[in-house]
Structure 1
Amino acid sequence: MENKNTIPAVDKSLKLLHVLAESSEAMTTAQLARGLEIAPTTCYRIIQTMVGHDWLRPTSTGAFTFSSGMFPLLKPLSDYQQLFESLGAPLRQLVEQTGLTAKISVKQGDVAATVYRIESPRPLSPSFKLGGTFPLALGSSGACLLSGLEDEEVKLILDESPEGAWAYQTRADVLARVCSVRKSGVCYDPGQYQPAVHAISAPIDNREHRCFAAISLIGWANDFSEKSIKELKRLVARCASQCSKKLGDKAVA
């Protein structure tokens, strides 16, 4: 959602860092300007400002890449990753009990991001890229992350969801999943994100009972029979509760 209380120059600077981070190689001023759809002179000034702070450095080819001045900024992110890695034991137990893939997602603006996962031991199973993002309108994990928001904010997020989010579902489907989380603490996605992939998710709450993250159990459609769904929901909800207790005061929504 667009936030009117932002500074355009800072917004452009942060978007530049995102574009560079997603690139597999250093980028020139012209490439970054095209990627951001901003004037080359504006892009040049942003880059030179970051070079001055040792966040970026020029390469021998005249392109730019990240510099060692970024390292101090990564320390909190390392702590954040360790926070989720501390949940490895309950997630591994869930994977061992079910044979399915388990992952943790968090809300980042208007999207959800996968921050931790434990793969299924099976040779063929659904897999999600660590760090990958998807609209909050999608999946059972998206519903968990939406469930703690005010209805008006949920409405705005759904209004601004990309067209692709509605390929296999309707707005009513999303709201039904959100309602399920609010009522029972768990929800099921019967392939409305990706038709062949089904999932069950539950919120990981902080001490104030606010949703901090979502845990999901993911498998193929035939892994979620009508008979097994009830037990899988119970296991996911129990794992989410264990994660919430383990995080304690360290979880800040």
Structure 2
Amino acid sequence: MTVSQTIPALHKAISIIEYLAERNEAVPVKELSYALQIPPASCYRMVNTLLQHHWISEDPSGGLRIAFGLAHVARTYSEVEARLREFEPRLRALSQNLQMSTKVSLREGHLTTTALRAEPPVPNAITSPIGSRIHLSIGSASAVLLAQMSDPVIRQVLASAPDEAWERQQPDDVWQRIQDCREQGACFELGLYHPSIYACSVPLQLTETAVVALSAVGWPEDFKNRKTIVDQLRAVVLE
């Protein structure tokens, strides 16, 4: 994403939050305006907006601090992180049983991000580093995440896909994976994005509000018995 695709005012609002977090003490608006080089009028409007959403609070003296509203937003992801740590032993056991790499993926905007992974003790396992990202139009994990959205939103996401997403597949292929996930609770990506990489994914209710994708990734020869792969993925989800 280029700088031209971002919102300068939002950058400034975020800088206010970061500044208050680093100071960890009440800070007057004038200091924010001067330190961050934000025009006073704009700074006051940003501060008032953050106050209304309870992301910051105002002391009786007029100083500003981080408030409980921002903590609530952060706590949602903290719960996801905690559940990921709890799930990690099951993911490692699944990788050992399947003798394939396994991973948990979550949605970040229009991207699918690897949040957790495990690899079997074999020399040629396919790796997916934690933090690696790919557009939601690509892969079985993405289809699981797309399946949780409404069709109009899915169409918007697919419209934002980079050209490389369509080099070996068509939108109908993505919709088929979504349909498989919705109807069968699992979907496959059998070499459409990369001819040597196959994957199977199922939905995992990680928290009360977060559905993520649990996947097994391997070589074409690893997918001779697809039913076994789906059964083992589902078994881990139901544990």
TM-score by length of 1: 0.65
* Pair 1:215 & 2:206 matched: no
Q: State which of 31, 36, 46 in structure 2 corresponds to 1:49.
A: 36
Partner residue of 1:125? 125
**Relative to 1, partners in 2 of residues 1:12 and 1:107: Cα closer, same or farther, differing over 3 Å?**
farther
**How many angstroms does 1:80 deviate by?**
3.8
Task: Deviation per CA, 1:90-117: give whole Å up to 9, x if none.
Answer: 2122112110011000000110100100
Q: Residues 105 and 212 of structure 2 are in contact (CA less than 8 Å); yes or no, is this contact kept in structure 1?
A: yes
Match of 1:84 in 2: 84
> Which residue matches 1:159?
159
Question: 1:44-95 deviations in whole A, cap 9, x for unaligned?
Answer: x99x539xxxxxxxxxxxxxxxxxxxxx98x856654332021022212211
Do 1:168 and 1:195's aligned partners in 2 also have CA atoms closer than 8 Å? no
Higher-Rg structure is 2
Question: 1:206, CA displacement in angstroms?
Answer: 5.5
Paired amino acid for 1:216: S
Question: How far did 1:12 drift?
Answer: 7.2
Distance 2:12 2:140 in 1: 32
Q: SS state of the match for residue 193, structure 1? A: coil
Query: Cα distance, 1:13 vs. partner?
Result: 7.0
1:198 is aligned to 198
Runs ≥4 residues deviating over 4 A: 11-15, 75-79
Alignment of 1:1-253 (within 5 A): 8-11=8-11, 49=36, 80-205=80-205, 212-225=211-224, 228-242=225-239
CA distance in 1, matches of 2:230, 2:164: 28
Aligned residue identity for 2:212: A
Deviation at residue 165 of structure 1 after TM alignment: 0.8
Distance in 1 of aligned mates of 2:8 and 2:87: 38
Q: Distance in 2 between matches of 1:14 and 1:165?
A: 32
Q: Which whole-Å deviations, capped at 9, do the CAs of 1:22-60 have from their partners, x for residues lacking one?
A: xxxxxxxxxxxxxxxxxxxxxxx99x539xxxxxxxxxx
Cα drift, residue 241 of structure 1: 2.9
What is the TM-score of this pair, normalised by structure 2?
Answer: 0.68
Cα deviation for residue 233 of structure 1 reads: 1.1
Alpha-carbon distance in structure 1 between the residues aligned to 2:13 and 2:216: 37
Query: Once the 2 structures are TM-superposed, how far is the Cα of residue 207 of structure 1 from its aligned partner?
Result: 7.0
Gaps of 5+ in 2: 1-5, 16-31, 38-69
Q: Secondary structure at the match of 2:129?
A: coil
Q: Note closer, same or farther for the CA distance 1:79–1:167 as it changes in structure 2 (3 Å cut).
A: same
Cα deviation, residue 8, structure 1: 4.4
The percentage of aligned residue pairs carrying the same residue is 27
* SS of match in other structure, 2:137: coil
> How many aligned positions are there?
187
In structure 2, relative to structure 1, the CA distance for the partners of 1:126 and 1:13 (3 Å cut) is farther
1:102–1:118 Cα contact (<8 Å) kept? yes
Partners of 1:13 and 1:114 in 2: CA distance: 28
Give 3-state SS (helix, strand or coil) of 1:204's partner.
strand
- The one-letter amino acid paired with 2:164 is G
| Cα 1:140–1:222 shift into 2, 3 Å | same
Larger deviation: 78-87 or 210-219?
78-87
Instruction: Determine the structure 2 residue equivalent to 1:30.
Output: none
